[in-house]
Amino acid sequence: MGTGHIISDIDSARRYLTDELTRVDPDSSVLLIENLAEDFSALRINLAPFKSGNFNPSQLLDAFLASAESRPDAFESFLAEWESLIEMVEKGLINLDREDVLTLNKSAIEMHYPAMHHSEEYARLNNPAYRLVRYEPLIRIMPEMQDAITKLKTEWRDLPE
């Protein structure tokens, strides 16, 4: 799912999360959870609202690690989720520039889907700070996230086809 490239060991993953939470300002105006798959199996937890909500970082780390471990078919799952993401962008369900995403997709295919990082410009403009998690480990470890996910699902159901 794209998380393995920052996990060399649990201690470094913990330090990386702690450092990121130290740098990010709490911001409840940002969405806490963003959906990345049509079946809601892949989610992005944004750290600014996470920090403002006073959630437990150790639990997020556990959900993140469990998510990375939960996919023995990681590459095949990644491809299915990537294709789902492309489809959602093409349908207008995710607010990303369609042409930029299709260009990135073409490049990713040509390079056999390498690990990627945000561009310098994107990082400078958006200061991305998040963790990618799977729905099942997140809800098992942090059941308090269920309300936010239910709200997100309701909003998605209300989108025009």
Q: What is the pLDDT of residues 19-41, one digit of tens each?
A: 999 999 999 999 999 988 778 88
Give the pLDDT band (50/70/90) at residue 1: very low
The pLDDT value given to residue 71: 60
The pLDDT value given to residue 112: 78
The pLDDT value given to residue 95: 81
Catalogue the long-range contacts made by 32-38 (C-beta closer than 8 Å, 24 or more residues apart).
Answer: 32/145, 32/148, 33/145, 33/148, 33/149, 33/152, 34/152, 35/152, 35/153, 35/156, 36/81, 36/85, 36/132, 37/81, 37/84, 37/85, 38/84, 38/87, 38/88
As a whole-number percent, the residues of the chain with pLDDT over 90 amount to: 37
Give the pLDDT band (50/70/90) at residue 128: confident
Q: What is the pLDDT of residues 62-101, one digit of tens each?
A: 999 988 876 656 677 778 878 888 888 888 888 888 898 8
Please state the pTM of the whole predicted model: 0.71
